[in-house]
Structure 1
Amino acid sequence: MPLKAVILIGGPQKGECRGAAGGQGLGPAPLTALPAGTRFRPLSFEVPKPLFPVAGVPMVQHHIEACARVPGMKEILLLGFYQPHEALSRFLVAAQQEFRIPIRYLQEYAALGTAGGIYHFRDQILSGGAEAFFVLNADVCSEFPLQEMLEFGQQHGDAHGFVILGTTANRTQALNYGCIVANADTQEVQHYVEKPSTFVSEVINCGVYLFTPAIFQHIGEVFQRQQQELALEESSNGWQRAEVIRLEQDVFTALAGRGKLYVYKTDGFWSQIKSAGSAIYASRLYLNQYSKTHPERLAQNKPGGPVIRGNVYIHPTASIDSTAVLGPNVSIGEGVTVGAGVRVRESIVLHGAALHDHTCVLNTIVGWDSTIGRWARVEGTPSDPNPNDPYAKIDSESLFRDGRLTPSITILGCSVTIPAEVVILNSIVLPHKELSRSCKNQIIL
């Protein structure tokens, strides 16, 4: 069966990742009551969010690897509203060479929503005779059981049936996601509610879908209805607003109970990557998966090498002192220097960072080219309730309570300098800052 995949990568928010090289932002907004799209700051100032390294490779590469493994996959399309970007272009060229499959970027003229974008580019998606296509949100972390979804769809649906990947969450967590009520025997979706105010179901939407070309008829019905509604309002730009269509609220809600929508429930790992802190949790999940899928990416204890505890990724160009102790759940990026006696746990250390002798880095993201001085301690608090359960669902909104940002892990932006013998606890430091003292529970602008 000829297949395609569409990965929804979104786009930059105000002040994020402007210009060809990235990092030319408009400056940070106050980090209180941030809208959802800004929650990956300060990391998204430097690189488009889909290219942020998670477990050693760009976030969206995990999606591409999963798509490329499906037999019959003819093309992978990245869809979003990022401007042409040097880093994204380089990544696409390298990914095409590595996975030997056409990979293209389709740029929306504006944010069109999860359904509006694929409807706008429906001719590109269907070109070449694709009989079905996957749609994956880039900000989710999963083992992506795409082949299983395809087999499930062939058994339960027909040429007009569609499949949602679902998983289970507890009653409190479920309120943060799309909730699915399905027939226990057929798995047909009877009812769908996006982020309900009261409990509906423990089965939640994972943001991964399998569609046939028939989905465009249903999206088109929403588009026409919105056009008519906007015409009644005599809106001067109604045609633009009508193209903003959401799969979840506008399409799935209407399809539920009509014998066209099914849920495939997975027991594998899954999490969202909405905030910068949730990237550490996602890195843990992917590192855990590497033992099965990419054992070559996991560091091993070797004579004369550092002590490795649990799952650790180390880029080949990194320089690690033999007395350092790394892990569990650590990712060390390109060109990183780790000095004598350094301890790193549950952290991501990005390209070019330097951890000087005897530093301690726990539950932290260390930004590109940042430096941590001797005997300094940089520490955060785990953002999920059970760090020993690799399959527990994270509440990726845990940094945000009562509409305000509450740091729990520590995040250093790019080119941050931490002096010797200071302690940084549960804080966020924006790029290009040189600290002079210890801090706790602070946002350093």
Structure 2
Amino acid sequence: MESLEEKVVAVIIVGGPAEGTRFRPLSFNTPKPLLPLAGRPMVHHPISACKKIPNLAQIFLIGFYEGKEFALYVSSISNELQVPVRYLKEDKPHGSAGSLYYFQDQIMEDSPSHIFLLNCDVCCNFPLPNMLDAQKRYGGMGTLLVIKVSAESANQFGELVADPITKELLHYTEKPETFVSDLINCGVYIFTPKIFDAIEDVYMRQEDRANVHHVTSFEALQITARSPPTDFVRLDQDILSPLAGKRQLYTYETMDFWEQIKTPGISIKCSALYLAQFRIASPDLLAKGDGTKNATVVGDVCIHPSAKVHPTAKIGPNVSISANVRVSPGVRLINCIILDDVEIDVSTELLMMWYK
């Protein structure tokens, strides 16, 4: 019988309507986390990865979208995976670490020994069970998923230095102006409940700085201008950087694929990565067709069961077709994501790689 202290929970940060602006106008009607990648909502991929975590008790989605926008999906995915998935709505953005602290009571209600924290806009193979094993070996407060990238692109992310033997996080800086390392933060973490103590310490320091009763009015203005709100705590600058080199944080390096889903264009690449992963792990999710009873399918393609694709159409590689789509005779599709309810015929002018 598993003990309570062995339970694990997962938290996925989904953001809110003020974020993901580069996905407009696509995100005006559908929240960015629910836009499709490889035939499933973007947030589905980290959720399904969490299902593989041993002793998983619950999955929490945290954001500041209205709850009704996620209600149907949360109910559906909970039934599909047979794991409780809950959406927790913030009253306002609290930062990635602040979000954890804001919902501490809900996250800790199963008394988990470990808490996974994932960003929704990350595309990777999510080696979560391996991270859990590594975290138990390290014995610190937390472990970061990291990957090596080109030196030219590293400064777009959080760069870090880790001990090559112990894997301890020695130094961390977010988007530095000068090159620090080609090892970057992937936005996937595992923590022990001690993370809440670290966040509380940040809150207390920020409240102390906000207490301007004994400073001049000029100093008060300077503090207000350069400091975030006292209830906003960033994971990178406020937690990772100060704890680096203190034997509290460690790294787990992935050798597999990783992308940050910043734009619709990158989504096309990420969809291809997930479709290729389906080919190995879930080939039943991919469409087949030779141009007789079904359309000709080339490479990795995902077609929703409700979509109607004419047998003379040629689809793929890297195509994801959503619900209730209609594809007419003679249509050729390649490297694209087709959203719900779209009708495409040979006269359709396709100017983007996302179609709605």
TM-score (norm 2): 0.92
Question: Where do residues 307-318 of structure 1 align in structure 2 (5 Å cutoff)?
Answer: 307-318=296-307
* Distance (Å, rounded) in 2 between the aligned partners of 1:411 and 1:322: 23
Could you say what secondary structure the match of 1:171 adopts? coil
Aligned alpha-carbon RMSD (Å) = 1.8
Give 2:137's aligned amino acid: Q
Q: Could you say which residue in structure 2 is the equivalent of 1:262?
A: 250
Contact preservation (8 Å) 1:327, 1:346: yes
Give 1:201's aligned amino acid: S
Contact preservation (8 Å) 1:41, 1:276: no
Could you say what secondary structure the match of 2:287 adopts? coil
Contact preservation (8 Å) 2:20, 2:32: no
User: Would you say 1:75 and 2:58 are equivalent positions?
Assistant: yes
| Greater relative CO (CA pairs within 8 A, separation 6+) | 2
Contact preservation (8 Å) 2:159, 2:184: yes
Contact preservation (8 Å) 1:182, 1:263: yes
Could you say what secondary structure the match of 2:236 adopts? helix
Could you say what secondary structure the match of 1:181 adopts? strand
Identity %: 41
Q: Could you say which residue in structure 2 is the equivalent of 1:165?
A: 145
Could you say what secondary structure the match of 2:74 adopts? helix
Q: Could you say which residue in structure 2 is the equivalent of 1:103?
A: 85
Contact preservation (8 Å) 2:8, 2:115: yes
Contact preservation (8 Å) 2:59, 2:85: yes
Contact preservation (8 Å) 1:115, 1:245: yes
Give structure 1 regions of 4+ aligned residues with deviation exceeding 2 angstroms.
Answer: 232-236, 301-304, 376-380
Give 2:105's aligned amino acid: D
User: Would you say 1:146 and 2:128 are equivalent positions?
Assistant: yes
The 3 A distance-change label for structure 1 pair 120 and 240 is farther
* Distance (Å, rounded) in 1 between the aligned partners of 2:87 and 2:293: 44
Give 2:71's aligned amino acid: S
Give 1:299's aligned amino acid: A
- Of 347, 350, 353, 1:378 maps to 350
Question: Where do residues 316-327 of structure 1 align in structure 2 (5 Å cutoff)?
Answer: 316-327=305-316
1:91 Cα deviation (Å)? 0.4
User: Would you say 1:285 and 2:273 are equivalent positions?
Assistant: yes
The 3 A distance-change label for structure 1 pair 240 and 120 is farther
Question: Where do residues 325-404 of structure 1 align in structure 2 (5 Å cutoff)?
Answer: 325-357=314-346, 374=347, 376-379=348-351
User: Would you say 1:251 and 2:234 are equivalent positions?
Assistant: no
Q: Could you say which residue in structure 2 is the equivalent of 1:117?
A: 99
1:104 Cα deviation (Å)? 0.8
Could you say what secondary structure the match of 1:242 adopts? coil
Unaligned 5+ runs, structure 1: 14-35, 358-373, 381-409, 415-445
Give 2:109's aligned amino acid: S
User: Would you say 1:51 and 2:34 are equivalent positions?
Assistant: yes
User: Would you say 1:224 and 2:204 are equivalent positions?
Assistant: yes
- Alignment coverage as a number of residue pairs: 341
User: Would you say 1:206 and 2:186 are equivalent positions?
Assistant: yes
- Of 13, 18, 22, 1:39 maps to 22
Q: Could you say which residue in structure 2 is the equivalent of 1:131?
A: 113
User: Would you say 1:301 and 2:289 are equivalent positions?
Assistant: yes
Q: Structure 1 or 2: larger helix share?
A: 2
Contact preservation (8 Å) 1:12, 1:82: yes
* Distance (Å, rounded) in 2 between the aligned partners of 1:231 and 1:10: 29
1:353 Cα deviation (Å)? 0.6
Q: Could you say which residue in structure 1 is the equivalent of 2:216?
A: none
CA offsets, 1:330-369, max 9 Å, x none?
0011111111111111100111111113xxxxxxxxxxxx
Contact preservation (8 Å) 1:181, 1:201: yes
Could you say what secondary structure the match of 2:171 adopts? strand
Contact preservation (8 Å) 1:132, 1:211: yes
* Distance (Å, rounded) in 2 between the aligned partners of 1:281 and 1:190: 32
1:240 Cα deviation (Å)? 9.0
Could you say what secondary structure the match of 2:58 adopts? strand
CA offsets, 1:265-316, max 9 Å, x none?
0011111112222211111111010012221110112442111111000011
Give 2:134's aligned amino acid: F
TM-score (norm 1): 0.74
Contact preservation (8 Å) 1:164, 1:263: yes
Could you say what secondary structure the match of 1:196 adopts? coil
Moved more, 260-269 or 295-304: 295-304
Unaligned 5+ runs, structure 2: 1-5, 213-219
Could you say what secondary structure the match of 2:229 adopts? helix
Q: Could you say which residue in structure 2 is the equivalent of 1:7?
A: 12
CA offsets, 1:10-60, max 9 Å, x none?
1112xxxxxxxxxxxxxxxxxxxxxx6411111100111111111101111
Contact preservation (8 Å) 1:162, 1:209: yes
* Distance (Å, rounded) in 2 between the aligned partners of 1:276 and 1:328: 18
User: Would you say 1:180 and 2:160 are equivalent positions?
Assistant: yes
Contact preservation (8 Å) 1:177, 1:195: yes
Contact preservation (8 Å) 2:336, 2:354: no
1:321 Cα deviation (Å)? 1.2
* Distance (Å, rounded) in 2 between the aligned partners of 1:126 and 1:292: 36
Could you say what secondary structure the match of 1:89 adopts? helix
Contact preservation (8 Å) 1:323, 1:341: yes
